[in-house]
Structure 1
Amino acid sequence: MIRLEDIHQTYQGSQGPVHALRGVDLHIRPGEIFGIIGRSGAGKSSLVRTVNLLNRPSQGTVTVAGRSLTALDSAGLRAARREIGMIFQHFNLLSSRSVFDNVALPLELAGLSRGEIRERVAPLLELVGLGTLADRYPSQISGGQKQRVGIARALASRPKVLLSDEATSALDPETTRAILALLQQINRDLGLTIVLITHQMQVIKQVAGRLAVMEAGRIVEQGDTLQVFSDPQHEVTRSLLDEIVPQELPVNVVERVRTLLGSAGHAPASLLRLTFSGPESDRPLLSDVARRFGLDLNIVHGQIDEVQGHPFGNLAVVATGARADLDSAVALLAGAGVRVQEVVHA
């Protein structure tokens, strides 16, 4: 649906050229919700704005729904943009226009009659849960409702792609969850391809099937969301994931276990950090290795979460027993898809 190839974006700044994007390649499939995440200044907003050529790349090609946007003339680009809706962090509503008329604006600009506009806008307001607020003005509705107006407006031209540029950043957590649930519903009901720009892993966790992580104008990691969450490869990804599942054991836990294992009379033992996701999360692997290898297992720390219904997380376990049995247990766990890190051994 969306293919970006060798995208570069260079701005002329006060101190010289600014390289916002550096050779980005990205393929977003039809009908998926794709997340693009990174810290402020990573280049994610610059990237999403190349999809509809609000920012024309300095180099590279942009293809949407089989059309190369970078090869179109002005008239062709205007027509292509009607198939790409966009919602923004700060809503961008016109205060002098009612909810209905804000949603109707792009249809008025496209030359539709008032009757055609009403036939299209009324169902959209129902879809986003604002059917009873059509005559209100932006000053009379909440932030979450304003964003719903922005979503309805973006859908008015019946796009194939919906771009969301930090659309939930100005909202409280409860409203954010409601807006993300609405985007999921739109994705299911209308089959839209949705691209989410965000700096919040919680947003990615709730709705994105795949994601790309950006840093300094480049994509440093991408893939299936559950896989990336359970086995992040890049330091930036691990840092962003810290807000959901800490990537390192707390120092006090490690030191407490180190002291315990170093005490007189303690049998040979290891502090193991187990990271898991998907089907192995539901298997009784710990009880299995305890029985099979005669180990004593003590869970000293852990956290389990979900990515859209799929569990992932980590546990810190003190495993006590003979070294050969510990090694066999680690091999069994690894063979079952669990990542095992030996943090302390004594």
Structure 2
Amino acid sequence: MIEIRNLSQRFAGPRGWVEALHNVNLAIPAGEIFGIIGRSGAGKSTLVRTINLLTRPSEGSVVVDGRDLTTLGKDDLRAARRDIGMIFQHFNLLSSRTVFGNVALPLELAGKTRAQIEETVLPLLELVGLTQHKDKYPAQISGGQKQRVGIARALASKPSVLLSDEATSALDPETTRAILDLLRKINRELGLTIVLITHQMEVIKQVCDRVAVLDAGRVVEEGKVVDVFMQPRHEVTRALIGDVIAHELPPALKARVAERLSTGSGHLLRLAFRGSGVDQPILSETIRRYELDFNILHGQIDEIQGQAFGSLAVLAGGQPVKVAEAIAYLRSQGVVVEELSHVE
């Protein structure tokens, strides 16, 4: 369990103090993959660095596995950090060391014997799929393989928590998917708690159990990933989700819909389904029950954590009372319905 309590972080700037984080509170259960997302400058990298106190917060506390790290002295903090592994965007490998040597480095610094090092490193290289590359140098392997080395190195001290700071940002989409699959495998097989920092909602969608959205150093939304996708409450969240599932209508269609809405004709609805609701003929049943016309403007079906997810924008025509009854019926069937009075 990771608990971040009333955490704030201020830095001195040329024009005075800059507040990078403001009163952040998060609880991350053990064994979860927790995503922290935000645009550039939102404070997410500052936040992840407070979890292992690479950056000491101005206010608040960070509790990991029952220990408040902000109260520890240097020696105790150093020991506590061994339970918190970290992987980085730019790998941070030593070019003069082999793959094996890079993974072995934290064990050497901890005074482990050669036999102990081999006993730990070789299974880790097998776990991340690099056994056959153990004698190569960083210049001889790909970016995805370098990140696998970074992951294995972070696991060498057998941590209970793994922090990932934009670890896939420098990778192509295919390699990103492979690295995220590896992180999910590590989470399941080793039971690690993973805190994943990213600016890409696609990354959150693929691997995270829950997500917190940061904006200007504040948590503006938090919840299960599928719930946040179905019903985003903050404009920043909507924009980030829009990078994955488009909410915007094409410009020409948007103009026509706006003109129709301005005459009071029709109701623009945004519908979100999940699970078995994606497979059910709910719309056709609604049309029959309430004698409505549904014009589907935009739609997409996707998958979040193995669960089907659908999103539709529809223009509903019919008597207002019937539209209201239809919306109530859809909601009773587990559909998230948002009635829009304007075209976004």
For 2:90, what is the secondary structure of its paired residue?
coil
State the 1:309 CA deviation: 1.7
State the 1:255 CA deviation: 2.8
In structure 1, runs of 5+ residues without a counterpart are none
CA 1:131–1:334: 2 relative to 1, 3 Å: same
Deviations 1:149-193 (A, max 9, x none): 000000000000000000000000000000000000000000000
Determine the structure 2 residue equivalent to 1:272: 269
- The amino acid that maps onto 2:249 is L
State the 1:33 CA deviation: 0.1
Determine the structure 2 residue equivalent to 1:118: 118
**CA distance in structure 1 between the aligned counterparts of 2:260 and 2:51, rounded to whole angstroms:** 56
- Equivalent residues of 1:245, 1:313 under 8 A apart: no
For 2:36, what is the secondary structure of its paired residue?
strand
Deviations 1:259-313 (A, max 9, x none): 67999xxxx7544332333443232111111222233433232122221122223
Q: How does 1:236-315 map to 2 (within 5 A)?
A: 236-257=236-257, 269-315=266-312
CA 1:194–1:262: 2 relative to 1, 3 Å: closer
**Residue 332 of structure 1, aligned match among 310, 316, 329:** 329
Determine the structure 1 residue equivalent to 2:168: 168
- Equivalent residues of 2:300, 2:311 under 8 A apart: yes
Q: How does 1:1-346 map to 2 (within 5 A)?
A: 1-257=1-257, 269-338=266-335, 339-343=337-341
State the 1:71 CA deviation: 1.1
For 1:299, what is the secondary structure of its paired residue?
strand
Deviates more, 1:152-161 or 1:9-18: 9-18
**CA distance in structure 2 between the aligned counterparts of 1:313 and 1:249, rounded to whole angstroms:** 16
**CA distance in structure 2 between the aligned counterparts of 1:244 and 1:256, rounded to whole angstroms:** 25
- Equivalent residues of 1:107, 1:156 under 8 A apart: yes
**CA distance in structure 2 between the aligned counterparts of 1:250 and 1:124, rounded to whole angstroms:** 48
State the 1:31 CA deviation: 0.1
Deviates more, 1:209-218 or 1:304-313: 304-313
**CA distance in structure 2 between the aligned counterparts of 1:46 and 1:271, rounded to whole angstroms:** 40
RMSD: 2.0
- The amino acid that maps onto 1:282 is D
- The amino acid that maps onto 1:247 is H
Q: How many residues align?
A: 341
Deviations 1:73-110 (A, max 9, x none): 11111110000000000000000000000000000000
- The amino acid that maps onto 2:220 is V
State the 1:342 CA deviation: 4.9
- Equivalent residues of 2:147, 2:167 under 8 A apart: yes
- Equivalent residues of 2:267, 2:339 under 8 A apart: no
- Equivalent residues of 1:28, 1:34 under 8 A apart: yes
- The amino acid that maps onto 1:341 is E
- The amino acid that maps onto 1:41 is G
- Equivalent residues of 1:306, 1:312 under 8 A apart: yes
- The amino acid that maps onto 1:173 is P
The TM-score with structure 2 as length reference comes to 0.93
For 2:228, what is the secondary structure of its paired residue?
helix
**CA distance in structure 1 between the aligned counterparts of 2:260 and 2:85, rounded to whole angstroms:** 58
- Equivalent residues of 1:304, 1:311 under 8 A apart: yes
**CA distance in structure 1 between the aligned counterparts of 2:239 and 2:316, rounded to whole angstroms:** 28
Query: Identity of counterpart residues, as a percentage?
Result: 62
- The amino acid that maps onto 1:304 is I
**CA distance in structure 2 between the aligned counterparts of 1:80 and 1:276, rounded to whole angstroms:** 43
- Equivalent residues of 1:272, 1:344 under 8 A apart: no
State the 1:344 CA deviation: 7.6
**CA distance in structure 2 between the aligned counterparts of 1:274 and 1:334, rounded to whole angstroms:** 10
- Equivalent residues of 1:50, 1:57 under 8 A apart: yes
State the 1:19 CA deviation: 1.3
**CA distance in structure 1 between the aligned counterparts of 2:297 and 2:59, rounded to whole angstroms:** 52
State the 1:198 CA deviation: 0.4
Deviates more, 1:138-147 or 1:248-257: 248-257
